[in-house]
Amino acid sequence: MPRLFGTFGVRGIVNKELTIKTALELGQALATDLGNRGRVALGRDNRTSGEMLELALVAGLNSGGCDVVRLGLTPTPVLSFATRSFGCDAGVMITASHNPAEYNGIKFWDQEGAGFQRWREDRIERIMSHGPKLVGWRDIGRSERVEALPLYFDAILERVPRFRRGLKVVVDCANAVGNLVTPSLLRELGCQVISLNSQLDGTFPGRKLETIPENLNGLAKAVVSCKADLGVAHDGDADRTLVVDERGEVISGDRVFAHVALHYLRGKSRPRILTTVATSSVLDDVAAKLGGEVVRTKVGEPELVEEIRKNGGDIAGEENGGVIFPDWLLCRDGIMTAVQFIAALDSTDMKASELNLTLPKYFQVKRRLECPDEKKAKVLARLTKRFSRYRTSHMDGLRIELEEGWLLLRPSGTEPIFRCFAEAKTEKQAKALAALGMRELKAAIKGS
């Protein structure tokens, strides 16, 4: 039986791969895991399928004896914040993050507001396969509606000083739940805010949800035409952030992370920066500036959180613009990431493009290729054999270290695709590495 949980949570096309039956059973399994008692915080993004799945999860949790604290429409970091702040035993977020509107997903959170570790996801799957334990009619749980957004909003305002420069920011939340927090929060902190794709619409008509450069052309044009200082873009549940500078150039997710880390950790003695095998070498440059170290893990938020819990960490993040601030939340928080990037810029007299030039330049190329899930293991084995003469890492997929840069060939944990990342000091070298990776990947898929 294939694993139900992917890189983080359960995800799939609604009413095809992810059904109300699955949601109901996940709710019952979580209640069983919690000992058929306790409180569970439940939030969702604004996809058209969200309310349907919410009702199924509430039924599953209640039938297993758990009370449900329903947060309604909420960004993922607010769900994490609420799970801990309201003293809940677990949290559930209904979101497919950056995936298209036809997808949805279900992510579990522990009482500290961190995503379930792999062993606990495995335990949920075992409960589902063996059958959950339901309670008698006298012990059925209840549900209540609770507001969490104001508490989260105020908690950030207590942590972050008001900005001094009055920067003009275009905020693109992609018709999604980031609109409930980020525009008003940045205004409160002293920014001039122009909202783009600000109306909530679960079909996401404004742009594709994934925060990658090709999806941010509208934001780039808006920044330039409005003479704004920068633009901020979230994905579907606001756990990721990308930035566009004043010229309309996209600052990649790992560079956003790097600038935020440099600002957030300044003055910290020997900071420990956690990131994944897919993230730019610019994080190593930041660590060198701060006198700290970089520790790399497998791709995925749970992997980073596990490393924080085992060995500590001062900040963690991924190449997609998701940053974890462990002294704030054990969760990727795109809203706090945007706030901290603007704080970093606000602490200087530079333009966003000038700030970006303060870090070494690397060129990246990111590609993807369709690959059925059942072929992924064979493809990876073939690739390993093909690159056996190079220095490689098998921590997550296959990372190949070359003289001119590095190449990562990695099967997605949430989609039937293989990802190809390449990085080098020149654009020509990065393109050549990506071309090499894609050639070998195509051959391996065809051969498998």
Domains of the chain: 10-147 (3.40.120.10), 166-356 (3.40.120.10), 363-447 (3.30.310.50)
Amino acid found at 282: V
User: Longest Cα pair distance anywhere in the chain, in angstroms?
Assistant: 68
Q: Is 188 helix (H, G, I), strand (E, B) or coil?
A: helix
How far is 18 from 106, CA to CA, in rounded Å? 9
Q: Which two tokens stand for residue 301?
A: 């938020």
DSSP state of 314: S
pLDDT at site 1: 53
Distance, CA of 1 to CA of 421 (rounded, Å): 30
DSSP 108-156: EEETTS-BPPHHHHHHHHHHHHH-PPPPPGGG---EEE---HHHHHHHH
The one-character DSSP state at 102 is: T
Q: Which pair of structure tokens corresponds to residue 177?
A: 């739940």
- Alpha carbons 234 and 178: distance in angstroms, whole number: 7
Nearest to 331 by CA among 5, 3, 9, 2: 9
DSSP string, 328-343: T-SSB-HHHHHHHHHH
- Give just the sign of the alpha carbon dihedral 49, 12, 44, 55: positive
Residues 58 and 142: their CA atoms lie apart, in Å, by 9
With contact defined as beta carbons under 8 Å apart, do 262 and 286 qualify? Answer: yes
At CA 336, angle to CA 328 and CA 77, rounded to 5? 70
- Strand, coil or helix: what is 285? helix
Dist. CA 189–CA 185, nearest whole Å: 6
**DSSP of 388-441:** TTSEEE-SSSEEEEETTEEEEEEE-SSSSEEEEEEEESSHHHHHHHHHHHHHHH
Q: Could you give the residue numbers annotated as active site?
A: 97
Sign of CA dihedral 61, 200, 156, 99: positive
The percent of the chain in helix, strand and coil, each rounded to the nearest 5, is 40, 25, 40
- From first to last of its 448 residues, the chain has per-residue pLDDT tens of 567 888 789 999 999 999 999 999 999 999 999 999 999 999 999 999 999 999 999 999 999 999 999 999 999 999 999 999 999 999 999 999 999 999 999 999 999 999 999 899 999 999 999 999 999 999 999 999 999 999 999 999 999 999 999 999 999 999 999 999 999 999 999 999 999 999 999 999 999 999 999 999 999 999 999 999 999 999 999 999 999 999 999 999 999 999 999 999 999 999 999 999 999 999 999 999 999 999 999 988 889 999 999 999 999 999 889 999 999 999 999 999 999 999 999 999 999 999 999 999 999 999 999 999 999 999 999 999 999 999 999 999 999 999 899 999 999 876 799 999 999 999 999 999 999 999 999 999 998 8
Give burial (CB, 10 Å; 0-12/13-18/19+) of 130: exposed
Q: Specify burial of residue 237 (Cβ count, 10 A radius: 0-12, 13-18, 19+).
A: buried
What is d(CA 406, CA 348) in angstroms, rounded to the nearest whole number? Answer: 33
Neighbour count for residue 6 (Cβ, 10 Å): 17
Cα–Cα distance between 213 and 197 in angstroms, integer?
A: 16
pLDDT of 7: 75
Strand, helix or coil for residue 315: strand
Exposure string over 113-122, b if 16+ CB within 10 A, otherwise e: bbbbbeebbe
* DSSP H or E run through 187: helix 182-188
Q: Which residues pair with residue 103 across a beta bridge?
A: 13
pLDDT for res 444: 95
Could you tell me the strand order of the sheet in which 230-234 lies?
192-196, 168-172, 230-234, 241-245, 250-251
- Report H helices in 234-366: 253-264, 282-290, 301-311, 334-346, 352-356
